[in-house]
Amino acid sequence: MPSKQTSNESLLTILLWTWPLGYQFPLNRCPNSEGLGCFYTINRSMYHMANAVVISHRDVAKSEKLLPPEPRPPNQYWIWSSMESPTNCPNLSMMDNKINLTMSYRIDSDIYTPNVRLEKVNSKEQFTIPQKSKLVAWVVSNWKARYRRSKYYEELKKFLPIDVYGKYALPLPRNQTLQTLSTYKFYLAFENSIHEDYITEKFWTNSIMAGTVPVAMGPARKNYQRFIPPDAFIHVDDFLTPQQLAEYLLSLDKDEAKYQQYFSWRSRYRPVWSSGFLSAYCKICGALKEAPAYRTIPSIAEWFK
């Protein structure tokens, strides 16, 4: 709750127009004083006194009627928020000339909200590679034969065994995901759409957090290298064909020393998982205080493509 020494009138009021994707979290409980000087609310009756309104795109995308009403209070910031890729953000054009700040996984967002960040560690800290007994795993529920990742998998499986988990394959209880995937040497971190900076839990959770080596399919290798050392992962674009990739993975399976080199970066960095929407939304307070001169973004769709 706001400090007793600070009245609500002196705080910046940040209104969540909806709970993002229906996920609820404690408001005004930001760690490390991130939310100091701001008051968060979900109460729409405070719309006309709010300094900023956070709009979760997927929750309003069906209709402009779901957006906050116009005219808005003078100089009120509308903050557009999405952790989905452009492919999964319909009707972006309805945000034209309405949004003042952006919040997303894109590193050039006004409010950058990554799922995972790397922090430097003491060189004496040791990372223990989980014991491996299997070769390649893939978790997929959104199966569409036309997707590039589906076609690539169909070719790759001709040359090496792949255990597939998910809705239409092997069962994988949520509370056993990391434990199960950690027993594999490689994980197919194949994104369902290819966009700048769109690197999801497929890479970070199912691979990095599980302690296996990600085989990435997503944006270009150099894009991944903005977030993680180049020797931490394998990228499908490094190989001319799925067969070449399969041959490389099989060679690593027989060369333990070479395989373990993919974990050498762990002596320098460790992945730190954000606390989801709470962590992301707590960043809004500081960003609002330091926001540049009030401006409106002509087209979210043009930027977020």
Catalytic annotation, residues: 84
Q: Is 58 exposed, middle or buried (0-12, 13-18, 19+ CB in 10 A)?
A: middle
**Is 80:103 a contact under the CB 8 Å cutoff?**
yes
HEC string for the chain: CCCCCCCHHHCEEEEECCCHHHCCCCCCCCHHHCCCCEEEECCHHHHHHCCEEEEEHHHHCCCHHHCCCCCCCCCCEEEEEECCCHHHCCCHHHHCCCECEEEECCCCCCEECCCEEEEECCCCCCCCCCCCCEEEEEECCCCCCCCHHHHHHHHHCCCCCCEEECCCCECCCHHHHHHHHCCEEEEEEECCCCCCCCCCHHHHHHHHHCCCEEEEECCCHHHHCCCCCHHHCEEHHHCCCHHHHHHHHHHHHHCHHHHHHHHHHHHCEEEEECCHHHHHHHHHHHHHHCCCCCCCECCHHHHCC
Q: How many CB atoms lie within 10 A of CB 119?
A: 8
Q: Hey, what are 4's tokens?
A: 């007793």
The tokens of 276 are what? 């989801």
- On whether the CB atoms of residues 148 and 217 are closer than 8 A, the answer is yes
Residue 68 · residue 55 · CB < 8 Å? yes
